[in-house]
């Protein structure tokens, strides 16, 4: 696959390998260096070294080799099914499970488990992500839709594109959110230096909107209901961190920005749960709602925070 890119003014004078790592389909700086060293990158028709400083307006041609196909084997991994028929299945994804195979996570994924439970999903999307219409981060729990037929995949994908699918998340965030509800309307793009992170100050930002409503206030934390109107990568995590209330347990966007007292709230993952999804059934058009109960670890977190609040209220030294 050939990628052609014109260097923008904002990247003038940047190292070739650093700039190339920001280009879609080139995931890391090490991959960028590998492509450059292999002679697969040309700047204005000339092969250059990684240290070459690109100039605004220069044209890059990058030949990205096709990835080696992954052999995905069915695995008897337990799945909790929330809804199922001949066209679609909704899974309650546990925290810690990767949705589809990728380098470093080739086994034990949701796709491996689906192939064991449903059999072949040939023709329903690509070979690595058969039936997958949307994703949840590895440590995010909750409801995830999977198409069982090509027609269902297209119908659901269209609803996601047109933003007619409704999603509701529950999260526990650090601190006390001001007011009862609000909206975060801040575009999101790839972090300018850290390829695996997203940022409201990132490059090639795209519109991103998240509506939030307070569910419960707890000591040092707030339980919020989140309704994203867009589906950007890490959107909820990035938006909450951007307003100063990162999600409890979020090691990428959270701990260092959580403020004083955050260390007292310990949680092994980001406290984020996909609680509900609403969609038009791909065969009948009927409005369908699927809900996933709050997982045990988040229930335990809430119990501990409520107990801490009760102890504080009973303390004779409390204000």
Name the residue among 131, 107, 93 with its Cα closest to residue 273. Answer: 93
Q: Which DSSP string corresponds to 4-26? A: EEEPPGGGTT-BHHHHHTTSTT-
Same domain, 47 and 75: no
Same domain, 215 and 237: yes
Q: Is residue 225 part of a domain?
A: yes
* Higher pLDDT pick, 78 / 10: 78
Same domain, 188 and 290: yes
**Tokens coding 319:** 């204000």
pLDDT at site 107: 83
Task: Evaluate if residue 222 carries a pLDDT over 50.
Answer: yes
Same domain, 90 and 230: no
End-to-end CA distance of the chain: 65
Compute the mean pLDDT over every residue in the chain, rounded to the nearest whole number.
Answer: 88
Same domain, 238 and 315: yes
How far is the C-alpha of 200 from the C-alpha of 210, rounded, in Å?
Answer: 13
**Tokens coding 131:** 């039936």
Q: Is 137 an active-site residue?
A: yes
Q: Is residue 168 part of a domain?
A: no
Same domain, 49 and 25: yes
pLDDT at site 204: 83
- Average pLDDT of span 275-293: 97
* Tens-place pLDDT, residues 200-216: 998 889 999 999 999 99
Name the residue among 138, 136, 137 with its Cα closest to residue 146. Answer: 136
Task: Evaluate if residue 264 carries a pLDDT over 70.
Answer: no
The torsion angles phi and psi of 212, rounded to 5 degrees, stand at -130, 150
Number of folded domains that form the chain: 3
CATH number of the domain bearing residue 40: 3.10.290.10
Same domain, 252 and 130: no
How far is the C-alpha of 36 from the C-alpha of 38, rounded, in Å?
Answer: 5
Same domain, 180 and 286: yes
pLDDT at site 319: 45
**Kind plus residue range of the DSSP H or E element containing 311:** helix 296-314
Same domain, 11 and 141: no
CA gyration radius for the chain? 22
Name the residue among 230, 207, 214 with its Cα closest to residue 182. Answer: 214
CATH number of the domain bearing residue 139: 3.30.2350.10
Specify the range with the lowest mean pLDDT, choosing from 17-21, 39-43, 46-50, 193-197. Answer: 193-197
Domain that holds residue 210: 174-319
Q: Which of 17, 92, 137, 139 is catalytic?
A: 137
Q: Is residue 167 part of a domain?
A: no
The burial of 57, by beta-carbon neighbours within 10 Å (0-12 exposed, 13-18 middle, 19 or more buried), is given as exposed
How many alpha carbons fall within 13 Å on the CB side of residue 259? 13
């Amino acid at each position: 696959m050939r990628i052609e890119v014109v260097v923008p003014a904002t990247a003038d004078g940047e190292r070739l390998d650093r700039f190339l790592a920001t280009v879609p389909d080139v995931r890391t700086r090490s991959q960028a260096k590998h492509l450059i060293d292999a002679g697969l990158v040309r700047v204005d028709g000339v092969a250059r070294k990684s240290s070459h400083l690109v100039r605004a307006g220069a044209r890059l041609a990058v030949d990205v080799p096709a990835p080696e196909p992954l052999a995905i084997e069915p695995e008897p991994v337990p799945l909790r099914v929330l809804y199922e028929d001949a066209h679609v299945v909704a899974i309650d994804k546990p925290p810690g499970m990767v949705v589809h195979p990728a380098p470093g996570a080739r086994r034990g994924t949701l796709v491996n488990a689906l192939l064991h439970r449903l059999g072949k999903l040939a023709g329903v999307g690509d070979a690595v992500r058969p039936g997958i219409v949307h994703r949840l981060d590895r440590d995010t729990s909750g409801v995830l839709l999977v198409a069982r037929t090509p027609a269902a995949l297209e119908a659901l994908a269209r609803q996601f594109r047109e933003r007619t699918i409704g999603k509701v998340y529950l999260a526990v965030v650090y601190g006390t959110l001001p007011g009862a509800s609000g909206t975060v309307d801040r575009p999101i793009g790839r972090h300018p230096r850290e390829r695996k992170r997203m940022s409201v100050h990132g490059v090639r930002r795209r519109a991103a909107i998240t509506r939030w409503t307070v569910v419960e206030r707890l000591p040092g934390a707030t339980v919020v209901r989140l309704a994203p109107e867009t589906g950007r990568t890490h959107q909820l995590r990035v938006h909450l961190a951007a307003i100063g209330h990162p999600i409890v347990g979020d090691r990428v966007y959270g701990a260092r920005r959580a403020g004083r007292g955050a260390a007292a709230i310990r949680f092994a993952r980001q406290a984020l749960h996909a609680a509900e999804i609403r969609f038009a059934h791909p065969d009948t058009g009927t409005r369908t709602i699927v809900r996933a109960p709050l997982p045990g670890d988040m229930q335990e977190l809430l119990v501990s925070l409520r107990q801490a609040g009760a102890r504080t209220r009973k303390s004779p030294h409390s204000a």
